[in-house]
Amino acid sequence: MTKIHIPTPLRQYAGKQATIEIKAGTIGDALSGLISKHPDLRRHLYTDEGKLRAFVNVYLNDEDVRYLQKEATAVKDSDTISIVPSIAGGAAGLTIS
């Protein structure tokens, strides 16, 4: 089973779990397996056109899958997948006009 790290902002759509284990052959398999378990995650991970969203990065171990074979990247049971969305929090009240 490959372990998928769910980032804090998305845990509310994944049964509040921090990690989820999925049996998968590729990154794409792992993500579809994850979405079939937790359908609410779909719109956060994919656009309406079915493309992985640009502000969500997927890592296989410490490598960005955009620089591997993207969703076709092969995964092993010992691998860890991380979903890393952009977060902006910090100081309160600072916005630009």
Which two three-digit tokens encode residue 7? 């980032």
Distance of alpha carbon 96 from alpha carbon 78, whole angstroms: 44
Phi and psi at residue 53, in whole multiples of 5°?
-65, 145
Considering the complex, what minimum distance in angstroms separates the CB of residue 86 from other proteins?
Answer: 4
Amino acid at 45: L
Considering the complex, what minimum distance in angstroms separates the CB of residue 8 from other proteins?
Answer: 4
Q: Which of 1, 9, 15, 37 binds other proteins (CB under 8 A)?
A: 9
Residues numbered 36-75 forming contacts with other proteins, rule: CB under 8 A: 40, 43-44, 53-55, 57, 59, 62-64, 67
Size of the site for other proteins (CB under 8 A): 33
Sheet with 63-64, side-by-side order of all strands: 19-22, 2-5, 80-85, 56-60, 63-64
Is 78 a binder of other proteins (CB under 8 A)? no
End-to-end CA distance of the chain: 47
Positions touching other proteins (CB under 8 A) are 7-9, 12-13, 18, 40, 43-44, 53-55, 57, 59, 62-64, 67, 82, 84-97
